[in-house]
Amino acid sequence: MHEASIALDLIRVAETVALEHGGRVLALTVRLGQWSAVVPEALQAAFPACAEGTLLEGARLSIQSVPGVGLCPLHGRVELNLRRGLRCPHCDAPTPELLQGDELELDELELAD
Protein backbone atom coordinates (compact mmCIF):
# COMPACT_ATOMS: atom_id res chain seq x y z
CA MET A 1 0.00 0.00 0.00
CA HIS A 2 1.88 3.06 -1.25
CA GLU A 3 -0.66 5.32 0.48
CA ALA A 4 1.25 4.84 3.77
CA SER A 5 4.43 6.24 2.20
CA ILE A 6 2.38 9.13 0.79
CA ALA A 7 0.94 9.78 4.25
CA LEU A 8 4.47 9.81 5.69
CA ASP A 9 5.61 12.32 3.06
CA LEU A 10 2.62 14.58 3.77
CA ILE A 11 3.37 14.38 7.49
CA ARG A 12 7.03 15.33 6.93
CA VAL A 13 6.06 18.40 4.92
CA ALA A 14 3.36 19.43 7.40
CA GLU A 15 5.73 18.97 10.35
CA THR A 16 8.30 21.23 8.70
CA VAL A 17 5.70 23.97 8.32
CA ALA A 18 4.42 23.44 11.88
CA LEU A 19 7.94 23.70 13.30
CA GLU A 20 8.56 26.93 11.38
CA HIS A 21 5.42 28.42 12.93
CA GLY A 22 5.78 26.89 16.39
CA GLY A 23 2.54 24.96 16.38
CA ARG A 24 0.94 21.56 16.21
CA VAL A 25 -1.14 20.52 13.21
CA LEU A 26 -4.87 20.18 13.92
CA ALA A 27 -6.00 19.48 10.36
CA LEU A 28 -4.69 19.22 6.85
CA THR A 29 -6.40 19.27 3.48
CA VAL A 30 -5.06 17.38 0.49
CA ARG A 31 -6.17 17.87 -3.13
CA LEU A 32 -6.21 14.44 -4.73
CA GLY A 33 -6.81 13.93 -8.44
CA GLN A 34 -9.05 11.07 -9.51
CA TRP A 35 -6.31 10.01 -11.93
CA SER A 36 -3.49 10.13 -9.35
CA ALA A 37 -3.45 6.35 -8.64
CA VAL A 38 -3.92 7.09 -4.94
CA VAL A 39 -6.89 5.45 -3.24
CA PRO A 40 -8.48 8.09 -0.97
CA GLU A 41 -9.87 5.53 1.48
CA ALA A 42 -6.48 3.86 1.82
CA LEU A 43 -4.81 7.22 2.47
CA GLN A 44 -7.43 8.04 5.13
CA ALA A 45 -6.89 4.64 6.74
CA ALA A 46 -3.08 4.89 6.74
CA PHE A 47 -2.87 8.46 8.01
CA PRO A 48 -3.64 8.00 11.76
CA ALA A 49 -1.07 5.23 12.24
CA CYS A 50 1.56 7.17 10.30
CA ALA A 51 0.88 10.32 12.35
CA GLU A 52 1.37 8.62 15.75
CA GLY A 53 4.17 10.28 17.72
CA THR A 54 4.39 13.26 15.34
CA LEU A 55 3.11 16.83 15.43
CA LEU A 56 0.14 15.53 13.43
CA GLU A 57 -1.03 12.93 15.91
CA GLY A 58 -4.80 13.34 16.19
CA ALA A 59 -4.99 15.71 13.22
CA ARG A 60 -7.92 15.51 10.79
CA LEU A 61 -7.15 14.63 7.19
CA SER A 62 -9.57 16.05 4.62
CA ILE A 63 -9.30 14.95 1.01
CA GLN A 64 -10.70 17.09 -1.80
CA SER A 65 -11.27 15.10 -4.96
CA VAL A 66 -10.15 16.76 -8.20
CA PRO A 67 -11.87 15.45 -11.34
CA GLY A 68 -9.92 14.50 -14.43
CA VAL A 69 -10.10 17.04 -17.24
CA GLY A 70 -8.78 16.33 -20.71
CA LEU A 71 -8.46 18.30 -23.91
CA CYS A 72 -10.65 17.01 -26.75
CA PRO A 73 -9.67 18.25 -30.22
CA LEU A 74 -13.37 18.89 -30.99
CA HIS A 75 -14.90 19.88 -27.64
CA GLY A 76 -12.01 21.52 -25.79
CA ARG A 77 -11.90 20.94 -22.02
CA VAL A 78 -13.98 17.92 -21.00
CA GLU A 79 -14.42 16.12 -17.70
CA LEU A 80 -13.17 12.56 -18.06
CA ASN A 81 -14.70 9.39 -16.68
CA LEU A 82 -12.24 6.88 -15.21
CA ARG A 83 -14.16 3.95 -16.72
CA ARG A 84 -13.92 5.40 -20.24
CA GLY A 85 -10.25 6.30 -19.95
CA LEU A 86 -8.69 9.22 -21.79
CA ARG A 87 -11.57 9.63 -24.25
CA CYS A 88 -13.98 12.49 -24.80
CA PRO A 89 -17.36 11.72 -23.18
CA HIS A 90 -19.13 13.44 -26.11
CA CYS A 91 -17.45 12.08 -29.24
CA ASP A 92 -15.19 9.28 -27.91
CA ALA A 93 -12.10 10.94 -29.43
CA PRO A 94 -8.81 10.28 -27.63
CA THR A 95 -7.87 13.05 -25.18
CA PRO A 96 -4.21 12.26 -24.57
CA GLU A 97 -3.56 15.51 -22.71
CA LEU A 98 -4.66 15.38 -19.06
CA LEU A 99 -5.09 18.99 -17.91
CA GLN A 100 -6.06 18.21 -14.33
CA GLY A 101 -6.80 15.21 -12.20
CA ASP A 102 -3.39 13.78 -11.35
CA GLU A 103 -2.76 16.17 -8.43
CA LEU A 104 -1.49 15.16 -5.03
CA GLU A 105 -1.08 18.45 -3.19
CA LEU A 106 -0.97 19.50 0.42
CA ASP A 107 -3.41 22.38 0.11
CA GLU A 108 -4.08 23.65 3.61
CA LEU A 109 -2.86 23.26 7.21
CA GLU A 110 -4.66 24.28 10.37
CA LEU A 111 -2.19 24.91 13.19
CA ALA A 112 -2.80 25.15 16.93
CA ASP A 113 -1.83 28.43 18.59
Q: Is the pLDDT of residue 96 over 90?
A: no
Predicted local confidence at residue 8, as pLDDT: 97
Residues 89, 111: Cα–Cα separation, whole Å? 42
Examine the pLDDT at 79 and tell me if it is beyond 70: yes
Please return the burial class of 102, using the count of CB atoms within 10 Å of its CB with bins 0-12, 13-18 and 19+. middle
pTM of the entire predicted model:
0.86
pLDDT value for 1:
58
Identify the structural domains of the chain with CATH numbers, from first to last.
3-111 (3.30.2320.80)
99: nearest Cα among 73, 78, 82, 113: 78
Give the strand order in the sheet containing 76-79. 76-79, 69-72, 98-100
The answer to whether the CB of 50 falls within 8 A of the CB of 8 is yes
Residue 76: is it exposed, middle or buried by C-beta count within 10 angstroms (0-12/13-18/19+)? exposed
pLDDT tens across 11-66, in order? 999 999 999 998 889 999 999 999 999 999 999 999 999 999 999 999 999 999 99
